[in-house]
Chains A and B, each alone.
Chain A
Amino acid sequence: MLDHNIEDEKYKVEVTVPVIGKSAGVLSFNDLKTGGYIKQRQKDKFTVRCMVPGGRLPIKKLKKIVEVAEKYGADYVHLSIRQSLEIPYVDYHNFDKVVAELSEVDQKVASCGPRVRVPTACSGCEYNPNGLSDTQGLTKVVNDKFFGAECNHKFKTSFSGCPIDCARTSEMDLAFQGAVFPEWEEEKCTGCRICASACQEDAIHDHPETGEPIFFPDKCLYCADCIRACPTEAWVSGKTGHIVRIGGKHGRHPFKGSVVAKFVSDEDVPVIIEKTVEWYNKHGVGKGRIRIGTLLREEGMMQSYMEHMKDVFKDKAVKDPKPPLEINIQE
């Protein structure tokens, strides 16, 4: 049996818990999947997807999930690629008990389908030595505000704390990566040449005589290695914020997202998501299940998007950004 057959609309079961966008009752497997209950190959068995925004799971919730899985699931749980924790082999007759027990610790079931998905994120600046942004804090804000918001198709967001981009912001529909612009204070510099060696992007050369840095901002990725390595704090943080990427996706025909703004603030982030979803829903009308990256690749759409966003991006907008790029992974 193929997976898409068992997700077919025509199969329906009666459930006693409300699923996102639907109240309890006779629901199709598709409705259930949208609500985070995914039909398995095995009769009556579903995988219940627990939301774990940014991959951070309080121990209290983890313990409860273990308890629920032991009672109603199999002898394992599964960590999804997008940081959710899935409980397989739950009989749908038990959905109400599973939901009730999970809600004792405020553990929610994640969504699927054409909506804003639970954001993924790296650990960010709290203890990660490379982290430049509060990815976890933003994940929470964004998940609380946008979880389940409807779109034309799935809408994935993520937060990376630095240009190493562990949360793959270039493969998301809309995502944010921490960045710091380094500024040099001449009077503190001893000309030790450490920064020129520390920079991996050739954005700093050492002056042959003085050893002082010569900075090439066009090559800079805003990683802050120079700031961290400088023994005398001669490199300091200038503007800080997020690089914004849009229109990426994975799948059979992945797209690489495009950078549309640089150094937007934490406060800008929810506004950017809201305005972007607004543009997406408006321009995707009548186009079926279309990802934002596909839409942005249509003639004139990138310009339309940038125009729509200009009051939010302001001077942080990138000039004439390219549409998302299709990547061939089949050869």
Chain B
Amino acid sequence: MSDIKVDAVLDITNEVCPMTFVKTKLKLETLETGQHLEVILNDGEPLRNVPRSLKEEGHRIVGTKKDGTKFHLIVEKGM
């Protein structure tokens, strides 16, 4: 995932659902289509909800990295 240029980073490890996704969505709104956001989230509920919601809203997860009990997702903003 190192070869993708990240335009912004968002740590949602201190948030709970549904704020995890709300924060991610608000952050994505500040980016242009095709730009990349790195989202840092916990496994468990956030991991079950955030990737699915991103996909449903037309964004792409183009990179992932597991980091202990956290995950890093590289999200490419959709239309």
- A residues sitting closer than 8 Å to B (CB atoms) are 129, 190, 192-194, 197-198, 200, 211, 225, 228-232
Contact = CB atoms under 8 A, between A and B. Distances in A.
B71 A194 contact: yes
A129 B66 contact: no
Given A192-B66, A228-B52, A231-B73, A198 B47 contact: yes
Contacts of A129: 49, 52-53
Given A194-B71, A197-B71, A229 B52 contact: yes
Nearest to A129: B52
A190 B66 CA distance: 12
B48 A225 contact: yes
A194 B47 contact: yes
Interface in B26-73: 43-44, 47-49, 51-53, 55, 60-62, 64-66, 71, 73
24 contacts: A129-B53, A190-B64, A193-B64, A193-B66, A194-B47, A194-B51, A194-B64, A194-B66, A194-B71, A197-B43, A197-B47, A198-B43, A198-B47, A198-B48, A200-B48, A228-B48, A229-B47, A229-B48, A229-B51, A229-B52, A231-B51, A231-B55, A231-B61, A231-B64
A231 B60 CA distance: 7
Interface residues of B, number: 17
A198 B41 CA distance: 12
Contacts of B66: 192-194, 197, 211
Interface string B11-29: 0000000000000000000
A202 to B, nearest CB: 13
Contacts of A211: 66
Contacts of A190: 64
Nearest to A200: B48
Nearest to A223: B48
Contact of A228 (B44, B55, B62): B55
What 5 A-B pairs are tightest by C-beta distance, nearest first? Answer: A231-B61, A228-B52, A192-B64, A197-B43, A193-B66
